[in-house]
Amino acid sequence: MAKYTKLAADIVKNVGGKENVISLAHCITRLRFKLKDEGKANTDVLKKMDGVVTVVQSGGQYQVVIGNQVGEVFDEILASQGIQGAGGDSAAEDDAPKKPLDMFIDTVSGIFTPVLGVLAASGMVKGLTALLAAFNILDTNGGTYKIMSVIGDAFFYFLPVFLGYTASKKFKMSEFAAMAIGASLVYPSLGQMMAGETLYDVLTGTIFESQIHVEFLGIPVILMNYTSSVIPIILAVWVGSKVEKFYTSVIPALLKGFGVPFCTLLTMIPLTLLAVGPAATWAGQAVGAAATGIFNISPILAGIFIGGFWQIFVMFGLHWGLIPIMIQNIVTFGADPVIITMFGTTFAQIGVVLAIILKTKDQKLKGIAIPAFLSGIFGVTEPAIYGVTLPRKKFFIMSCIGGAIGGALVALLGVKLFIFGGLGVFQYPCFIDPATNDVSGMYNGMIVSAVAFAAGFAMAFPTYKDDVPTVEAVETAETTTANDVSVAQNESQGVEREILKSPLTGGLVALPDVPDEVFASGLLGKGIAVNPTVGQVVAPADGEVTTLFPTGHAIGIKTSKGAEILIHIGMDTVKMNGDGFKTHVQQGDKIKQGQLLIEFDIDKIKKAGYPVITPVLVTNHGEYKDIVTADGANISQGDNLITAAL
């Protein structure tokens, strides 16, 4: 983890420091901070950090998107920065005002995030077991099948116990008391009671009509199957946290150690079995039935909506409001046909990304897109979203359209999710009906993924072109982040070789030595810099002024042979607001090589505290095989500076 020590320190520093952090959790790709004051976080700085994909503020959380290394970065923050993990206890959290939707999303995500990895892994084991059984590789009566079933089922069977623990962190209740409530819901004797003699019926004539098999202090207990359930334990722990807090306030300190848990359990377990459990179960069944009912009215339209907007839900954390419905549908009805309509979005996204990989000549973009594509195959699409498609908005929209097509197809083919677990290609076995070993759902899922992938690829491949930064993009890069660079489409005509003359007189400076990481990295283009001794910029070739910044400190030129040139006088000189700069041309003017374009006052720039080093960049360098720059220590206006070779 040592390699992430600096990144961890920088992240904590720029979220406002340790004292601004209430708690920290993480999911598959994101660090999820709860901050006392998000206004203290340096969002722009974080977005520019190496190792950080982007920052998302949603659902009451400050989310720093890391990618596949998030677990290691999270561990390093806990180890080296003294930050408390998920469920941090702080009065500031209670005092911070939150919107109801933010509170709901924050609560659900906080409860599910810690168990998400094991939840998915267990589902993958269940899916693999079903797949092996469906193809008669495993005998369903054999020991191997039974042990595999134990591995896959154990977590789901005791899910109320695990959620009891994570919910206790969220609601600030004793972890072991909450787990004891969860354990009571899956206690084997409850199942035996349900199979026993029926004493009488209650709520007859209503949708809540139930058989009573046992009473507690003369009160009828409505027994239900709580294995794999979600809502009852969450509601029970919430109520339990209030009950525990009450007993803590009234029981003497001498007796608190055993008195509080004794009274809490003696109150909460009967209350859960008598009221909280049945009410929560009925509520969950109602929500699931409502969602399924809407789906049944128009499955295809529901699929288009969920599939098309799923990635947007994920970006804002809103999908956490839908995941419990998916799980509840599986528990209640044996399968979920509704929320699973989002399945195709993953493949639509990576279809777009693959098209970009094949078309782009930008090696930096390839370096981001290739690992993002590989992650996407296995269902982790956030690196693809934030690193590749979202910055190129129309390609993100294409992936959403592909997701909508996939959603409609899921509904049309009647694909259902029988097992919660696995992402991307690992989700295929989750479409096998474990009751009948029917594999048709898996094949239909493969069809959906292929169609969604093809749709994304087909939209992106013929339309993608590498972008070229404009001068305005340089200012954005200087003040915010290089990922927000505004671009102009490259229309280079292409020539075998073009020689660009030096627009300046002065000392040569290699691009990596430029005192600005955006220019030095080559992100905005390839070329060289000049430390000028004469305050003049002349045209490096015949062409046209395509961009002229109002302050006069930067100019963009397209030569008559197709090279696109950016000349940026000094570093951060935009802050001088044009003082010390005089332009002799206007945007759109035709120019001749050697023509005076801009005059600038070198001394005034230096006195203002800004470096005068001036990069001269070929921004459409991707159209050329090689960009060769002049050698030597000094250069004069009109000397050969850059050779662009096709």
The pLDDT tens digits of the residues spanning 363-401 come to: 878 887 888 888 788 776 766 886 788 778 899 999 999
**Same domain, residue pair 572 and 536:** yes
Q: Would you list the DSSP string of 587-603? A: TT-EE-TT-EEEEE-HH
d(CA 54, CA 66): 8
**Same domain, residue pair 189 and 338:** no
Hey, what are 481's tokens? 């982040």
Contact 525, 566 (CB under 8 A): yes
Residue 127: inside a domain: no
What integer pLDDT is reported at residue 491 of this predicted model?
A: 38
What integer pLDDT is reported at residue 472 of this predicted model?
A: 46
Residue 106: inside a domain: no
Catalytic residue from among 26, 27, 213, 553:
27
Strands 564-568 and 614-618: antiparallel
Residue 116: inside a domain: no
Active site residue 27: yes
**Same domain, residue pair 202 and 302:** no
Residue 209: inside a domain: yes
d(CA 87, CA 71): 17
What is the reported pTM? 0.50
Cβ-proximal residues to 383 (8 Å cutoff; 6+ apart), any chain: 29, 53, 67, 68, 368, 371, 372, 375, 376
d(CA 486, CA 392): 10
Positions of E strands within 85-204: 200-202
Report how far apart the first and last C-alpha atoms of the chain are (Å, whole number): 44
Residue 118: inside a domain: no
**Same domain, residue pair 24 and 77:** yes
What integer pLDDT is reported at residue 369 of this predicted model?
A: 85
Residue 250: inside a domain: yes
What integer pLDDT is reported at residue 409 of this predicted model?
A: 96
Burial degree of 193 (CB within 10 A; 0-12, 13-18, 19+): middle
What integer pLDDT is reported at residue 223 of this predicted model?
A: 85
Residue 23: inside a domain: yes
Residue numbers of the domain that contains 552:
468-645
Q: Helix 345-359 crosses helix 363-377 at what angle (to 10 degrees)? A: 150
What integer pLDDT is reported at residue 470 of this predicted model?
A: 45
Contact 423, 379 (CB under 8 A): yes
Residues counted in the chain = 646
**Same domain, residue pair 285 and 302:** no
What integer pLDDT is reported at residue 10 of this predicted model?
A: 93
d(CA 232, CA 185): 9
Contact 621, 627 (CB under 8 A): yes
What integer pLDDT is reported at residue 393 of this predicted model?
A: 82
What integer pLDDT is reported at residue 484 of this predicted model?
A: 37
Catalytic residue from among 26, 319, 568, 621:
568
**Same domain, residue pair 290 and 305:** no
Residue 135: inside a domain: no
Hey, what are 211's tokens? 């058989």
Nearest-10 Cα torsion for 50, 53, 54, 57: -120
What is the amino acid identity at position 1? M
**Same domain, residue pair 239 and 340:** no
Hey, what are 357's tokens? 């990989």
Helices (H), 2-69: 5-14, 43-48
**Same domain, residue pair 514 and 637:** yes
Strands 61-65 and 54-58: antiparallel
Hey, what are 290's tokens? 């409502």
Q: What angle do CA 436, 439, 442 make, to 5 degrees?
A: 135
Hey, what are 127's tokens? 């899916």
d(CA 641, CA 540): 9
What integer pLDDT is reported at residue 88 of this predicted model?
A: 38
Burial degree of 143 (CB within 10 A; 0-12, 13-18, 19+): exposed
User: Which of 246, 264, 294 marks a domain boundary?
Assistant: 294
Active site residue 263: no
Contact 104, 15 (CB under 8 A): no
What integer pLDDT is reported at residue 345 of this predicted model?
A: 94
d(CA 480, CA 475): 8
Low-confidence ranges of the chain (pLDDT < 50): 87-96, 470-495
The count of domains in the chain is 4
**Same domain, residue pair 87 and 230:** no
**Same domain, residue pair 383 and 431:** yes
